[in-house]
Amino acid sequence: ALRGRGLDVHLFQRSGHVLQPFGEAVADRVEPELTAQGVTVHTATPVEALCGDDRIEAISYDGGRQPVDLAVVGVGITPNTGVVADTDIELGAGGAIATDKFGQTSRPDVYAAGDCATAHHTVTGEDTWMPLGLTANRGGRAIGSTVAGNPEPVGDIAGTAVVKAFDLECGRVGLIDDEAAREAGFEPVRKTITAESRSGYYPGGAETDVTLVADRETGRLLGGAIVGADRAAVRINTLATALNEEMGVAEVERLDLAYAPPFSPVWDPILVAAKVLRGSIQ
């Protein structure tokens, strides 16, 4: 949006690549796209200070100083648990209010949902803290039903997220970080493939990269990421559904996914990724 208004945009990123939660394969597509669209990307470059007297005039970082008119700061969030600070209600993952599968806190008559509360992770089975919009919405509705006498679980969270970077659509779901997968007791194996989004002869297709991560021992799908310019992001919902059902990579490979030249090649990019990953596990 800022580039669209003709501004000179610099992106400073502390980590080694952009879009950290989406994994390296997505970042490897997004960074050149940002550059091509005129954004100057500074990875592995923490901002040290916002400089200026009355207003921000520059930011400083290791080895440099960048004059700016405007700074958009994204430094993460923490759960706002002030509302229970003076109570004995227990906190859990990420310092959020610990809840069970009905959103109930450690006190039977108190429920919590949304960005302040923990949730149950689809893949690890552990409590986690992932503040996302749908999770908050679902939790609110389910708890409303539960306290009105009709118990309704708030639902697990797979960490499904999608984002747009100019024309690139990015999606991620589940455990795609090797370290997180190992901590959860899995031995992650990963493959990234590039496939066309449409039949080769049909105009308008775009290269779509799919990364899948599975557990070597069981073949269970652990997570995935997708990036591409042609309807890539919503394809992540197929993987979110597969994770919810604890599907193995071999089962994903046999899914009857849609084929028609304007929308997909005979083998959907997800099926290609499952086939390649399965080949490397067996």
Interface residues with its own copies (CB under 8 A)? 122, 132-135, 137-138, 153, 155-164, 169, 171, 173, 231, 233-238, 240-242, 244-245, 247, 251, 254-260, 262-264, 266-268, 270-271
- Measured from the CB atom, is 45 or 135 closer to its own copies? 135
C-alpha 108: how far from chain center: 32
Torsion of Cα atoms, 29 then 21 then 239 then 192, to 10° = 40
Tell me the C-alpha to C-alpha distance, in Å, between residue 279 and each of 57, 105, 156, 260: 54, 44, 30, 26
Q: Rounded CA gap, 237 and 243, in Å?
A: 10
CB of 15 to its own copies, least distance (A): 21
CB of 195 to its own copies, least distance (A): 14
Residue 80, CB half-sphere, CA atoms under 13 Å: how many?
A: 3
CB of 153 to its own copies, least distance (A): 7
- Measured from the CB atom, is 147 or 250 closer to its own copies? 250
- Measured from the CB atom, is 53 or 282 closer to its own copies? 282
- Measured from the CB atom, is 18 or 236 closer to its own copies? 236
- Measured from the CB atom, is 3 or 65 closer to its own copies? 3
Q: Which residues fall within 8 angstroms of residue 63, CB to CB, at 6 or more apart? A: none
Q: Rounded CA gap, 134 and 257, in Å?
A: 25
Q: Which residues fall within 8 angstroms of residue 153, CB to CB, at 6 or more apart? A: 101, 102, 142
CB of 280 to its own copies, least distance (A): 16
CB of 54 to its own copies, least distance (A): 33
